[in-house]
Chains A and B, each alone.
Chain A
Amino acid sequence: MSTTITPRKIAVVPAYNEAASVGDVVRKLQAQTPEYDVVVVDDGSTDATAKIAEDAGASALRLPFNLGIGGAVQAGFRYALENGYDYAVQVDGDGQHDPGEIRKLEQAMRDERVDMVCGSRFLTEDHRYPAPVSRRTGIHLFAFLLSRIVGQRVSDPTSGFRLYNRRGVAVFARDYPHDYPEVEAVLMVHWHRLAMCEVPVRMFTRNGGVSSIKGSGKSTYYMIKVLLAVLVGLARSKRAVEPGDEAPVAAASGI
């Protein structure tokens, strides 16, 4: 519940060694969606990512070491929740997401009355997404699997360009997966009985830095790991962690 009349909005920008592009991302956000505050989550970068973000006018969360994309984005969700934001949009720090498309996500959230809107690369007619074959195979495998499980078409389960409302932010601030978190996040939305939809977006090729998932060996490894997480998750009797449940961490019980 919000006491303010105009909803408060925030853009969460995870960035790991993105000094080359994060400044532009922040400036573009401020120019195209000025009502959004910007928080850059510096995931243990060894370059000037956080400094550049602050100089561009964003807040910066400096993680003391690299947590991986899941941990970084969750830090952003916690920040959004603790500071009372009503909407949060995730925009990657490498510049592949176009802040100009945030309006499209907002429009879809209003029209479809959903808790999460994903920008999909694969809903346009002329999608060309240059990625290694192993990565594309993974994306399409998860797209197929998730669509079956959640009972609605999920064309781009690894897209990180997503808009969340407060319920979505609250769920993911509490519990967010580690690697390829977007895939499992789609399942969590389903298990928490939240609603989601996709809108077609264009994505740019990366401006600088290196992808969190590089090399086909590594993406195969992540694919197997996420597959394990998805399949074991299906076998959980209590799939969603609600307030009052045991904390979703290994240390919560036993040795």
Chain B
Amino acid sequence: MDAKIQIVATVSAALLIVVLLELVRRRRLLERYALLWLLSAFVLLALSIWRGLLADIADLIGVAYPPNALFLIAFGFVLILLLHFSLAVSRLTDQAKVLAQRLALIEERVGRQEDQESSGTHEGDRARLESSARN
């Protein structure tokens, strides 16, 4: 593998790790979503540094030029990350639906209670008026 591409790959992976850790540190990224990213970044970093292993993997999957194997692996991680986000979005969609339904039910319940209370005071007013009229 060309030394230049090794440097580029190593620096990018290292930079990604730094950015990820910084985002978690600033509480912008939840640990739950950082883990898969970190796993990808560390694997890519390891393969960028450890050329022997990358060459073996390239050989194993029939890729002639090892850096291409690195790209292939990175692409695999991107696919997994996308699937991970689709799962997360599905869960959030479901939860937003449940929240909206619960909110509507509670609003209806509160409205009904307010109606009862206000009609209750009206009756009270009427009773007071009637009693004062009698007096």
Interface hit among B22-30, B48-56, B57-65, B69-77 = B22-30
Interface hit among A15-23, A28-36, A189-197, A224-232 = A224-232
Give Cα distance in the complex from A235 to B29, angstroms: 15
A228-B24 in contact given A64-B99, A64-B102, A65-B98 (Cβ < 8 Å)? yes
A228-B25 in contact given A64-B102, A65-B95 (Cβ < 8 Å)? no
The listed residue (A226, A235, A249, A254) touching B25 by CB distance below 8 A is A235
| Inter-subunit contact A225/B102 (CB<8 Å) | no
Give Cα distance in the complex from A183 to B94, angstroms: 30
Closest chain B residue to A236, Cβ basis: B25
Task: Number of B interface residues at 8 Å Cβ cutoff, please give it.
Answer: 18
Give Cα distance in the complex from A213 to B17, angstroms: 28
| Inter-subunit contact B28/A253 (CB<8 Å) | yes
Give Cα distance in the complex from A224 to B39, angstroms: 11
Whether A174 sits at the interface, judged by CB under 8 Å, is no
| Inter-subunit contact B98/A228 (CB<8 Å) | no
Instruction: Name the interface residues of B1-30: CB closer than 8 Å to any CB of A.
Output: 21, 24-30
Instruction: Name the interface residues of A227-254: CB closer than 8 Å to any CB of B.
Output: 228-229, 232, 235-236, 248-250, 252-254
| Inter-subunit contact A250/B34 (CB<8 Å) | no
- Across-interface contacts of A225 in B (CB, < 8 A): 31-32, 35
Whether A51 sits at the interface, judged by CB under 8 Å, is no
- Across-interface contacts of A248 in B (CB, < 8 A): 27
Give Cα distance in the complex from A138 to B32, angstroms: 18
Give the shortest distance, in Å, between A59 (CB) and chain B (any CB).
Answer: 16
Whether A178 sits at the interface, judged by CB under 8 Å, is yes
| Inter-subunit contact A250/B24 (CB<8 Å) | no
- Across-interface contacts of B30 in A (CB, < 8 A): 178, 250
Closest chain B residue to A249, Cβ basis: B27
Closest chain B residue to A235, Cβ basis: B25
Size class of the A contact interface (CB-based, 8 Å): 10 to 19
Whether B46 sits at the interface, judged by CB under 8 Å, is no
Instruction: Name the interface residues of A189-237: CB closer than 8 Å to any CB of B.
Output: 221, 224-226, 228-229, 232, 235-236
- Across-interface contacts of A249 in B (CB, < 8 A): 27
Whether B81 sits at the interface, judged by CB under 8 Å, is no
| Inter-subunit contact A228/B27 (CB<8 Å) | no
- Across-interface contacts of A65 in B (CB, < 8 A): 94-95, 98-99
- Across-interface contacts of A252 in B (CB, < 8 A): 27
Give Cα distance in the complex from A154 to B99, angstroms: 39
- Across-interface contacts of A250 in B (CB, < 8 A): 27-30
Give the shortest distance, in Å, between B93 (CB) and chain A (any CB).
Answer: 12
Give Cα distance in the complex from A252 to B35, angstroms: 21
- Across-interface contacts of B28 in A (CB, < 8 A): 250, 253-254
Instruction: Name the interface residues of B72-125: CB closer than 8 Å to any CB of A.
Output: 94-95, 98-99, 102
A residues with a Cβ closer than 8 A to B are: 64-65, 178-179, 221, 224-226, 228-229, 232, 235-236, 248-250, 252-254
